[in-house]
Protein backbone atom coordinates (compact mmCIF):
# COMPACT_ATOMS: atom_id res chain seq x y z
CA UNK A 1 0.00 0.00 0.00
CA UNK A 2 1.30 3.44 -0.88
CA UNK A 3 2.12 5.89 1.89
CA UNK A 4 -0.35 8.75 2.02
CA UNK A 5 0.42 12.08 3.65
CA UNK A 6 -1.90 15.00 4.17
CA UNK A 7 -1.92 18.39 5.81
CA UNK A 8 -4.16 18.67 8.88
CA UNK A 9 -6.51 21.63 9.14
CA UNK A 10 -6.49 22.52 12.83
CA UNK A 11 -9.52 24.78 12.41
CA UNK A 12 -11.63 21.72 11.57
CA UNK A 13 -12.41 18.59 13.65
CA UNK A 14 -9.44 16.23 13.35
CA UNK A 15 -11.36 12.96 13.65
CA UNK A 16 -12.89 13.02 10.14
CA UNK A 17 -9.50 13.99 8.68
CA UNK A 18 -7.90 10.79 10.01
CA UNK A 19 -7.05 8.16 10.90
CA UNK A 20 -3.38 9.06 11.35
CA UNK A 21 -0.53 6.64 12.00
CA UNK A 22 1.97 9.44 12.62
CA UNK A 23 1.57 13.20 13.08
CA UNK A 24 4.65 15.32 12.45
CA UNK A 25 3.98 18.83 13.66
CA UNK A 26 5.59 22.13 14.50
CA UNK A 27 3.00 23.78 16.72
CA UNK A 28 5.55 26.16 18.24
CA UNK A 29 3.68 29.25 17.02
CA UNK A 30 0.42 27.96 18.48
CA UNK A 31 2.04 26.98 21.80
CA UNK A 32 3.65 30.40 22.25
CA UNK A 33 0.54 32.33 21.18
CA UNK A 34 -1.72 30.22 23.42
CA UNK A 35 -0.33 32.10 26.43
CA UNK A 36 -2.28 35.20 25.42
CA UNK A 37 -4.55 34.28 22.47
CA UNK A 38 -7.87 32.48 23.00
CA UNK A 39 -8.06 31.16 19.44
CA UNK A 40 -4.64 29.51 19.76
CA UNK A 41 -5.71 28.09 23.13
CA UNK A 42 -8.73 26.49 21.47
CA UNK A 43 -6.67 25.04 18.60
CA UNK A 44 -4.19 23.59 21.07
CA UNK A 45 -6.95 22.16 23.28
CA UNK A 46 -8.62 20.48 20.29
CA UNK A 47 -5.31 19.01 19.17
CA UNK A 48 -4.52 17.69 22.65
CA UNK A 49 -8.01 16.25 22.94
CA UNK A 50 -7.58 14.32 19.69
CA UNK A 51 -4.18 13.01 20.77
CA UNK A 52 -5.50 11.85 24.15
CA UNK A 53 -8.31 9.75 22.60
CA UNK A 54 -6.02 8.33 19.87
CA UNK A 55 -3.07 6.93 21.83
CA UNK A 56 -1.99 4.69 18.92
CA UNK A 57 -1.15 7.74 16.81
CA UNK A 58 2.58 8.50 17.03
CA UNK A 59 3.16 12.18 17.80
CA UNK A 60 6.44 13.83 16.77
CA UNK A 61 7.00 15.39 19.18
CA UNK A 62 5.02 15.39 22.47
CA UNK A 63 3.64 18.83 23.27
CA UNK A 64 4.98 19.01 26.85
CA UNK A 65 8.50 18.29 25.58
CA UNK A 66 8.22 20.94 22.88
CA UNK A 67 6.89 23.45 25.39
CA UNK A 68 10.00 22.95 27.54
CA UNK A 69 12.31 23.73 24.63
CA UNK A 70 10.40 26.91 23.84
CA UNK A 71 11.35 28.19 27.32
CA UNK A 72 15.07 28.87 27.76
CA UNK A 73 14.64 28.77 31.55
CA UNK A 74 13.54 25.13 31.22
CA UNK A 75 16.02 24.07 28.53
CA UNK A 76 18.98 25.75 30.27
CA UNK A 77 18.20 23.86 33.46
CA UNK A 78 18.52 20.66 31.43
CA UNK A 79 21.78 21.91 29.90
CA UNK A 80 23.23 22.76 33.30
CA UNK A 81 22.98 19.10 34.39
CA UNK A 82 24.94 17.75 31.42
CA UNK A 83 28.26 18.35 33.18
CA UNK A 84 27.38 15.64 35.71
CA UNK A 85 25.76 13.12 33.38
CA UNK A 86 28.45 13.47 30.67
CA UNK A 87 31.49 14.11 32.85
CA UNK A 88 33.49 11.34 31.14
CA UNK A 89 33.04 13.09 27.78
CA UNK A 90 34.03 16.56 29.04
CA UNK A 91 30.70 18.07 28.05
CA UNK A 92 29.43 21.17 29.84
CA UNK A 93 27.35 24.32 29.41
CA UNK A 94 28.21 27.91 30.38
CA UNK A 95 27.10 29.40 33.68
CA UNK A 96 23.85 31.32 33.34
CA UNK A 97 21.34 33.38 35.28
CA UNK A 98 17.56 33.60 34.89
CA UNK A 99 16.10 37.10 34.93
CA UNK A 100 12.42 36.48 35.62
CA UNK A 101 11.10 40.03 35.70
CA UNK A 102 12.04 43.68 35.91
CA UNK A 103 12.06 43.31 39.71
CA UNK A 104 15.08 41.01 39.39
CA UNK A 105 17.08 43.68 37.59
CA UNK A 106 17.64 45.63 40.81
CA UNK A 107 19.67 42.74 42.25
CA UNK A 108 21.27 41.52 39.03
CA UNK A 109 24.54 43.39 39.70
CA UNK A 110 25.17 41.19 42.72
CA UNK A 111 23.86 38.01 41.08
CA UNK A 112 26.14 38.23 38.04
CA UNK A 113 29.18 37.67 40.24
CA UNK A 114 28.54 33.97 39.56
CA UNK A 115 29.09 34.64 35.83
CA UNK A 116 32.01 36.03 33.85
CA UNK A 117 32.03 38.96 31.42
CA UNK A 118 31.34 39.24 28.58
CA UNK A 119 27.75 38.06 29.01
CA UNK A 120 25.39 37.07 26.25
CA UNK A 121 21.73 37.99 26.83
CA UNK A 122 18.94 35.96 25.21
CA UNK A 123 15.16 36.18 25.42
CA UNK A 124 13.33 33.65 27.56
CA UNK A 125 11.08 32.54 24.68
CA UNK A 126 13.17 30.46 22.28
CA UNK A 127 10.93 30.94 19.26
CA UNK A 128 10.02 33.64 16.78
CA UNK A 129 12.01 36.50 15.30
CA UNK A 130 12.60 38.17 18.68
CA UNK A 131 14.30 35.03 20.03
CA UNK A 132 17.21 35.69 17.65
CA UNK A 133 17.75 39.22 18.97
CA UNK A 134 20.62 38.99 21.44
CA UNK A 135 23.30 41.22 22.92
CA UNK A 136 26.81 40.99 24.34
CA UNK A 137 27.30 42.85 27.62
CA UNK A 138 30.83 43.77 28.70
CA UNK A 139 30.43 45.36 32.15
CA UNK A 140 28.11 46.01 35.06
CA UNK A 141 27.06 49.29 33.46
CA UNK A 142 25.96 47.39 30.38
CA UNK A 143 23.42 45.46 32.44
CA UNK A 144 21.14 48.47 31.99
CA UNK A 145 20.50 47.08 28.50
CA UNK A 146 18.93 43.88 29.88
CA UNK A 147 15.22 43.40 29.19
CA UNK A 148 13.40 40.80 31.27
CA UNK A 149 12.45 38.01 31.02
CA UNK A 150 15.76 36.72 29.68
CA UNK A 151 18.81 34.62 30.43
CA UNK A 152 22.33 35.92 30.95
CA UNK A 153 25.00 33.42 29.92
CA UNK A 154 28.76 33.64 30.32
CA UNK A 155 30.30 34.06 26.86
CA UNK A 156 32.85 31.39 25.98
CA UNK A 157 35.52 32.13 23.37
CA UNK A 158 35.20 29.49 20.67
CA UNK A 159 37.09 30.65 17.60
CA UNK A 160 34.01 31.95 15.77
CA UNK A 161 32.83 28.41 14.93
CA UNK A 162 29.41 27.01 15.84
CA UNK A 163 28.54 23.33 15.41
CA UNK A 164 24.83 22.71 14.87
CA UNK A 165 23.69 19.17 15.58
CA UNK A 166 20.38 18.09 14.05
CA UNK A 167 18.80 15.05 15.69
CA UNK A 168 16.35 12.80 13.80
CA UNK A 169 15.44 9.82 15.93
CA UNK A 170 18.53 7.69 16.50
CA UNK A 171 20.52 9.56 13.84
CA UNK A 172 22.19 12.94 14.05
CA UNK A 173 23.97 15.26 11.64
CA UNK A 174 26.49 17.98 12.43
CA UNK A 175 27.17 21.09 10.34
CA UNK A 176 29.60 23.93 10.91
CA UNK A 177 28.45 27.55 10.92
CA UNK A 178 30.09 30.93 11.54
CA UNK A 179 29.76 32.37 15.03
CA UNK A 180 30.86 35.25 17.24
CA UNK A 181 34.56 36.03 17.33
CA UNK A 182 36.67 35.92 20.48
CA UNK A 183 36.58 38.76 23.00
CA UNK A 184 39.01 39.51 25.85
CA UNK A 185 37.72 37.97 29.08
CA UNK A 186 36.71 40.17 31.97
CA UNK A 187 34.79 43.44 32.26
CA UNK A 188 35.69 46.38 30.05
CA UNK A 189 34.21 49.73 29.03
CA UNK A 190 33.03 48.51 25.62
CA UNK A 191 29.44 49.36 24.68
CA UNK A 192 26.85 46.59 24.48
CA UNK A 193 26.76 44.88 21.07
CA UNK A 194 23.26 44.09 19.80
CA UNK A 195 22.97 41.45 17.08
CA UNK A 196 20.63 38.93 15.44
CA UNK A 197 21.94 35.37 15.71
CA UNK A 198 20.45 34.51 12.31
CA UNK A 199 22.54 37.19 10.67
CA UNK A 200 25.68 35.92 12.41
CA UNK A 201 25.34 32.15 12.07
CA UNK A 202 23.71 31.52 8.70
CA UNK A 203 25.93 29.55 6.24
CA UNK A 204 26.32 32.63 4.03
CA UNK A 205 26.82 35.09 6.90
CA UNK A 206 29.49 37.75 6.44
CA UNK A 207 29.56 39.79 9.64
CA UNK A 208 32.29 41.81 11.31
CA UNK A 209 31.29 39.97 14.50
CA UNK A 210 32.59 36.68 13.08
CA UNK A 211 35.97 37.97 11.80
CA UNK A 212 38.98 36.43 13.58
CA UNK A 213 42.59 37.56 13.67
CA UNK A 214 44.77 35.58 11.25
CA UNK A 215 46.93 34.22 14.06
CA UNK A 216 43.98 32.61 15.85
CA UNK A 217 44.65 28.84 15.85
CA UNK A 218 42.07 26.50 14.37
CA UNK A 219 40.18 24.38 16.89
CA UNK A 220 39.67 20.63 16.51
CA UNK A 221 36.15 19.52 15.59
CA UNK A 222 34.01 18.07 18.37
CA UNK A 223 34.64 14.41 19.14
CA UNK A 224 32.07 12.30 17.27
CA UNK A 225 31.88 9.97 20.27
CA UNK A 226 31.18 12.87 22.63
CA UNK A 227 28.49 14.26 20.31
CA UNK A 228 26.87 10.82 20.11
CA UNK A 229 26.88 10.56 23.92
CA UNK A 230 25.38 14.05 24.18
CA UNK A 231 22.61 13.25 21.70
CA UNK A 232 21.79 10.00 23.50
CA UNK A 233 21.56 11.80 26.85
CA UNK A 234 19.40 14.61 25.47
CA UNK A 235 17.02 12.19 23.75
CA UNK A 236 16.56 10.57 27.15
CA UNK A 237 16.15 13.88 29.00
CA UNK A 238 13.85 15.51 26.44
CA UNK A 239 11.76 12.55 25.30
CA UNK A 240 11.92 13.93 21.76
CA UNK A 241 12.90 12.58 18.34
CA UNK A 242 13.40 15.87 16.46
CA UNK A 243 15.56 18.64 17.94
CA UNK A 244 18.73 20.63 17.42
CA UNK A 245 21.72 21.35 19.65
CA UNK A 246 24.17 24.25 19.31
CA UNK A 247 27.65 23.39 20.54
CA UNK A 248 30.99 25.20 20.59
CA UNK A 249 34.55 24.22 21.52
CA UNK A 250 36.19 26.27 24.28
CA UNK A 251 39.45 27.68 22.85
CA UNK A 252 41.26 27.27 26.17
CA UNK A 253 40.06 23.86 27.40
CA UNK A 254 38.76 22.30 24.15
CA UNK A 255 35.70 21.30 26.18
CA UNK A 256 32.53 20.57 24.19
CA UNK A 257 30.14 23.28 25.38
CA UNK A 258 26.37 23.23 24.82
CA UNK A 259 24.95 26.75 24.41
CA UNK A 260 21.39 26.10 23.20
CA UNK A 261 18.80 23.40 22.48
CA UNK A 262 16.12 24.04 19.88
CA UNK A 263 13.02 22.46 18.45
CA UNK A 264 13.83 20.97 15.07
CA UNK A 265 13.57 23.54 12.24
User: Is residue 181 annotated as involved in ligand binding?
Assistant: no
Write the CA distances from 209 to 101, 127, 197, 201, 205, integer angstroms: 29, 23, 10, 10, 10
**Strands 96-99 and 133-137: what pairing?**
unpaired
User: Is residue 163 annotated as involved in ligand binding?
Assistant: yes
User: Is residue 154 annotated as involved in ligand binding?
Assistant: yes
User: Is residue 161 annotated as involved in ligand binding?
Assistant: yes
Distance CA 236, CA 228 (A): 12
> Which parts of the chain are beta strand (E)?
22-24, 58-60, 91-92, 96-99, 119-123, 133-137, 150-154, 161-168, 171-178, 193-196, 242-249, 256-263
Count of Cβ atoms closer than 10 Å to residue 151 Cβ = 19
User: Is residue 145 annotated as involved in ligand binding?
Assistant: no
User: Is residue 147 annotated as involved in ligand binding?
Assistant: no
User: Is residue 164 annotated as involved in ligand binding?
Assistant: yes
User: Is residue 128 annotated as involved in ligand binding?
Assistant: no
Distance CA 169, CA 181 (A): 32
Distance CA 133, CA 81 (A): 26
Do 125 and 150 form a contact (C-beta atoms < 8 A)? Answer: no
User: Is residue 201 annotated as involved in ligand binding?
Assistant: no
User: Is residue 260 annotated as involved in ligand binding?
Assistant: yes
List the binding residues.
26, 72, 122, 132, 153-164, 179, 246, 260, 262
Numbered residues of the known binding site for ATP: 72, 122, 153-164
Binding residues for 1D-myo-inositol 1,3,4-trisphosphate: 26, 132, 164, 262
Binding-site positions for Mg(2+):
246, 260, 262
Amino acid sequence: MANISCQIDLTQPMGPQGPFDVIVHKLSDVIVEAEHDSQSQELLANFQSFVSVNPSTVLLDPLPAMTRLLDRFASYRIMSKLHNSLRDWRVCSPSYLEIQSADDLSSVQQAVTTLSFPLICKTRVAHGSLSHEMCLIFSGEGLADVRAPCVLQSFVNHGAVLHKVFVVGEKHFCVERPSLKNFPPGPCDRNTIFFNSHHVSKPESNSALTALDEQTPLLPPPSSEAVAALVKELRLQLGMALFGVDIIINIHTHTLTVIDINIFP
